[in-house]
Amino acid sequence: MKFSFKKARKAQEVLKKRVKLEPLKREIKTVAGCDLTFLDPFKNPITGIGAFIVLTYPELKVVEKVYEVAEVEIPYVPGFLAFRELPLLIKAFKKLKRKPDIVFIDGHGITHPRGLGIAAHFGVITGIPSVGCAKKPLFGEFKEPCREAGCYEPILHPKTKETIGYAVRLRKNSKPVYISPGNLITPEEALKLALKTARGFKLPEPTRIAHNYLQTVRKGIIQRKLQELEGKNGS
DNA sequence: GCGACAG
DNA sequence: ATCTTGTCGC
């Protein structure tokens, strides 16, 4: 059965009704970051690797890391990233022994054409508060933040003019990141959390550490494959 | 109709 | 979603 983007769109419209932009209910003690890459990202983006890391908050010390490998079936189409990446990310998430109080996801939360980017989608199906952190804008209107670290500008919904997220500069002269609530958090709380988990890099720590960890895992898997191949050939 | 388009 | 190398700004 072929994947239907028409049905996926319908699913997003239904799930969007379950997004709650309400203040956090619990004190944040742990923050997770996650990321997904492929063994061969540009030539053959099929074998995916998904990773989750858990950090203490506000100290930002790593307390757990997990990863999972699986074939990714659905192609990437802007606006439908969740259908491609969420199945593997959820698999990795289930391996965590300590469930985090909140999760940072690579990609948008509600700053999405149908209000349900991957971070909002994750938050709705897991019931865990989530924040979207994207490296490129997708939806909404905003002004360029000033060049200093900590500068930000609201991202406004084109029709309602409501604040749905923030373009935030976490490092001086770096490109901004695009922060928006996924679920069970307000735009202002998402902004505050992004600023408080920044450590002078372009990306907030949960996202940055998850990305670094995944790079290490990916290189390890490639090395291991090369070693196996070498043993067979006796070269 | 055209351009833009998270990872 | 990657890698490598060089260059530039802070």
Task: Please give the pLDDT value at position A228.
Answer: 76
Q: Is the CB of A168 under 7 A from strand B?
A: no
Task: Please give, chain by chain, protein residues whose CB is below 7 Å from any atom of strand C.
Answer: A 35-38, 41-42, 45, 76, 106, 135, 172-173, 211, 214-215, 218-219
The nucleotide lying nearest A37 (C-alpha to C1') is: C1
Find the Å distance, CA of residue A38 to C1' of nucleotide C1: 6
Phi, psi of A111 (to 5 degrees): -80, 70
Task: Please give the pLDDT value at position A70.
Answer: 98
Cβ atoms of A102 and A193 within 8 Å: the answer is yes
Find the Å distance, CA of residue A5 to C1' of nucleotide B3: 21
Domains of chain A: 25-226 (3.30.2170.10)
Q: Which amino acid is at A167?
A: A
- Nearest CA to A46 among A37, A33, A58, A54? A37
Report the distance separating Cα A115 and Cα A63, nearest Å.
Answer: 32
The nucleotide lying nearest A44 (C-alpha to C1') is: C1
Cβ neighbours of residue A22 under 8 Å, at least 6 residues apart? A184, A185, A186
First CA to last CA distance, chain A: 43
Strand B near-CB residues (< 7 Å), A 102-131: 106-108, 112, 117-119
Q: Which two tokens stand for residue A181?
A: 């609530």
Find the Å distance, CA of residue A204 to C1' of nucleotide B7: 17
Residue with tokens 């203490």: A56
Task: Please give the pLDDT value at position A234.
Answer: 53
Report the distance separating Cα A43 and Cα A180, nearest Å.
Answer: 31
Nucleotides of B under 7 A from a protein CB: 5-7
CB atoms within 10 A of CB A89: 24
Report the distance separating Cα A192 and Cα A172, nearest Å.
Answer: 18
Task: Please give the pLDDT value at position A232.
Answer: 63
Find the Å distance, CA of residue A82 to C1' of nucleotide B1: 29
The segments of chain A whose pLDDT lies below 70 read 230-235
Q: Is the CB of A101 under 7 A from strand B?
A: no
Q: Is the CB of A166 under 7 A from strand B?
A: no
The nucleotide lying nearest A117 (C-alpha to C1') is: B6
